[in-house]
Structure 1
Amino acid sequence: IDFAKEKGVTITHVFDTHLHADHISGGRVIAEKTKATYWLPPKDAEEVVFDYQPLEEGNDIIIGNIKIRIQPIYSPGHTIGSTSFIVDDQYLLSGDILFIDSIGRPDLAGMAGDWVGDLRKTLYSRYNALSKDLIVLPAHFMIIDELNDDGSVGKKLSTLFAENHGLNIVDEAEFRHLVTGNLPPQPNAYQEIRETNMGKINPDEEKQREMEIGPNRCAIR
């Protein structure tokens, strides 16, 4: 909110790529404070207890007088509702599905065996059909080597298909083994975090900080 004020812009829309299990989303609070529209993938929102707008592929969102186009791309695998955004046909905001040197894990709702097929289809079919000139902007990075010289985190989709090991496993059984056999530990309090993001529980700030202690664990490499 302070950043928006500093830039002299008004927050009118808030987007979440999926229902997070590794950190407490500030999206709903920002939307409430600014009276913005809060967008959430409906397949992840079946248990939420607050109002939201369904973020669905085919329902493009145009923002502001200069017409910023947000194109949702359904990309399940990290969660069943995971949705990426193509912004102005230039940038791919990949959420927690694809990172610079790793791919997303499919098990934060305990569904690794069921969702690994969705993860592969998203990465190897849906993403492979997109323009390779898109600049991928992931939600996280794992190691400092993934940063660009200017400190940004992003690379062309073509570069990731050439260099990211998770995008280059031809054998589906090998891919399935990589994903389900190398899962890092679940994040701390991941179920409580999911319920907080659903609006089912409302821990105070001290409890929220306690729940989020520990490293981000969205990725497999």
Structure 2
Amino acid sequence: MYFQHIYDKSLAQGSYFIGCQQAGVAAVIDPKRDVDTYLEIAQEQKMRITHILETHIHADFLSGSRELAALTGAEIYLSDEGGVEWQYEFDHIGLRDGDRMQVGNLELTVLHTPGHTPESLSFLLSDKPAIDVPVMLFTGDFVFVGDIGRPDLLEKAAGMKGTQETGAHQLFASLRKFSALPGFVQVWPGHGAGSACGKALGSVPSTTTGYEILRNWAFRFGQNEEGFVQYLLADQPEPPRYFAMMKKLNKINRPLVTRVPAVAELGKDALKAALDKGYQLIDTRDKTAFAQGYIPGSINIQGNNSFNTWAGWFLDYETPFILLADPGKLDDLTRKLMRIGLDNIHGYIPSVQTWLDAGGRLEKTAVIAIDDFKSLYRNNGIQVVDLRGATEYQSGHIKGADHVFLGTLPDNLDKISKDKKVVIHCQSGDRATIGYSLLARKGYHNVLNFSGSINKWEEDGNPVVQ
């Protein structure tokens, strides 16, 4: 057997390439959309991809199953569980609980494990030539390392009211199937630490069924189903806005993008014309470079591992947008965007010089250090705004600070004062810079960015309250 775990750090998402070396065939589970990764593995291993499987209709990324099928001729195997509302709207081979598939000498058994979503599947792998018992379980968003999938996304992200309690009870029942498996079975989940698909995901890539039964909080409730449901639904992180679009696009017969698109460089006239049309400019530079001089109206979303998550919060799927990015980083940024379906890249500029050549001017971020913030805080008369998530805020915040989560900031501008100085902060400064750029774009000229944020506040021995 050949096995490879492909991990996308930007979305903390795992996909899997599993092959039978003797037969020269392979399966891919939960592929990301830039599918050249799997084609390269297949070529290196002299294998043909014949099976493409998905554990469920994903919310956090746009699946590459149909792109990969178009390029390889492989069949797509998808869940037919969950009822009529959870059926995929394009050609596929339907799977139900107990179904089996052969990939050469490898056998995959389907387990219906609803809860995260009604149609969710897990795949149990047996390496028949080596041993006659299952050796791996691919759980998708069912069981993670140290956590389980959240059942509230359908309600919070997709607007499906009344589904989170039902999903939580389904998860409780699905865990019995997991508990019945041998303790030595390797567990390979769909996500790791940093994903918004759970609240306490572990940072190691895999685990075993036996270890999770011993250590995972979800197995500690015994027969106390109501206690399990209450704990599961509490303190889940805010689901990014783009999740609802992923649920839609992963279900329908959408246009395919079978290669990473090239992005054209814009000259000064093309840049100005695009901005005049209302196209958004995303500045992907480091927050320090942005603070020293940025194009008015641009949003600073640094090109790090959180880039596509925050882009998914603030970009829509109809309006073209522009990137300010180092040309050497364009391929990486484009891949991150296409993984969540943000394909409307109008073009890019390599630096702010293009804007200056067009006769534009730059603005600077009003950044303050800890001493400046302390002075303003002592003298009162300012508004302090904490841009972190609700759970972070509740775990400890600066006394008197108002809470406005960054992702919902554009919808809550009425909570930001226009009459007094406003100091914004987050945990370490990255989100505060995004927030500053959003507020500046909306005409707020009274905002100061406390770049050290809560980390610096606590390092200096200052108190927080809950």
TM-score, shorter chain, exceeding 0.5: yes
Which of the numbers 186, 205, 208 marks the counterpart of 2:239?
Answer: 186
Which of the numbers 203, 211, 228 marks the counterpart of 1:146?
Answer: 203
Gaps of 5+ in 1: 148-152, 214-221
> What displacement does 1:203 show?
8.5
Matched, 1:160 2:217: no
The alpha-carbon distance between structure 1 residues 109 and 200, as it changes in their structure 2 partners (threshold 3 A), is farther
TM-score by length of 2: 0.41
> What displacement does 1:136 show?
0.8
Superposition map of 1:71-220 within 5 A: 71-88=109-126, 89-110=134-155, 111-123=163-175, 125-142=176-193, 146-147=203-204, 153-170=205-222, 171-202=224-255, 209=337, 212=340
Which of the numbers 54, 62, 69 marks the counterpart of 1:16?
Answer: 54
Aligned-partner Cα distance in 2 for 1:83–1:54: 11
Q: Residues 7-35 of structure 1: CA distance to partner in whole angstroms, max 9, x if unpaired? A: 11000000000010111011121112111
Aligned-partner Cα distance in 2 for 1:6–1:211: 24
**Contact 1:188–1:211 (Cα < 8 Å) also in 2:** no
Identity of aligned residues (%): 25
**The 10-residue stretch of structure 1 (67-76 or 201-210) with the greater mean CA deviation from structure 2:** 201-210
> What displacement does 1:49 show?
2.4
- Letter in structure 2 aligned against 1:98: V
Aligned-partner Cα distance in 2 for 1:94–1:130: 13
Aligned-partner Cα distance in 2 for 1:74–1:98: 13
Partner of 2:88: 48
> What displacement does 1:155 show?
1.7
- 2:90 alignment partner, SS class: coil
Aligned-partner Cα distance in 1 for 2:190–2:56: 11
**Contact 2:63–2:339 (Cα < 8 Å) also in 1:** no
The alpha-carbon distance between structure 1 residues 203 and 83, as it changes in their structure 2 partners (threshold 3 A), is same
- Letter in structure 1 aligned against 2:207: K
- Letter in structure 2 aligned against 1:19: I
- Letter in structure 2 aligned against 1:109: L
**Contact 1:188–1:212 (Cα < 8 Å) also in 2:** no
Aligned-partner Cα distance in 2 for 1:145–1:175: 19
> What displacement does 1:107 show?
2.1
> What displacement does 1:157 show?
0.8
Aligned-partner Cα distance in 2 for 1:126–1:43: 16
- 1:3 alignment partner, SS class: helix
> What displacement does 1:115 show?
0.9
**Contact 2:86–2:119 (Cα < 8 Å) also in 1:** no
Aligned-partner Cα distance in 2 for 1:3–1:40: 23
Which of the numbers 33, 58, 64 marks the counterpart of 2:98?
Answer: 58
The alpha-carbon distance between structure 1 residues 37 and 211, as it changes in their structure 2 partners (threshold 3 A), is closer
Corresponding residue pairs, total: 205
Aligned-partner Cα distance in 2 for 1:178–1:29: 39
**Contact 2:184–2:209 (Cα < 8 Å) also in 1:** yes
The alpha-carbon distance between structure 1 residues 145 and 93, as it changes in their structure 2 partners (threshold 3 A), is closer
**The 10-residue stretch of structure 1 (34-43 or 167-176) with the greater mean CA deviation from structure 2:** 167-176
**Contact 2:79–2:87 (Cα < 8 Å) also in 1:** no
Aligned-partner Cα distance in 2 for 1:99–1:166: 10
- Letter in structure 1 aligned against 2:186: I
TM-score by length of 1: 0.84
Aligned-partner Cα distance in 2 for 1:93–1:167: 19
> What displacement does 1:160 show?
0.8
- Letter in structure 1 aligned against 2:165: G
- Which structure carries more relative contact order (alpha carbon 8 Å, separation 6+)? 1
- 1:104 alignment partner, SS class: coil
Partner of 2:369: none
**Contact 1:39–1:55 (Cα < 8 Å) also in 2:** yes
> What displacement does 1:47 show?
4.7
**Contact 1:196–1:203 (Cα < 8 Å) also in 2:** no
> What displacement does 1:62 show?
0.6
Q: Residues 106-138 of structure 1: CA distance to partner in whole angstroms, max 9, x if unpaired? A: 122222111111111111x11111112211111
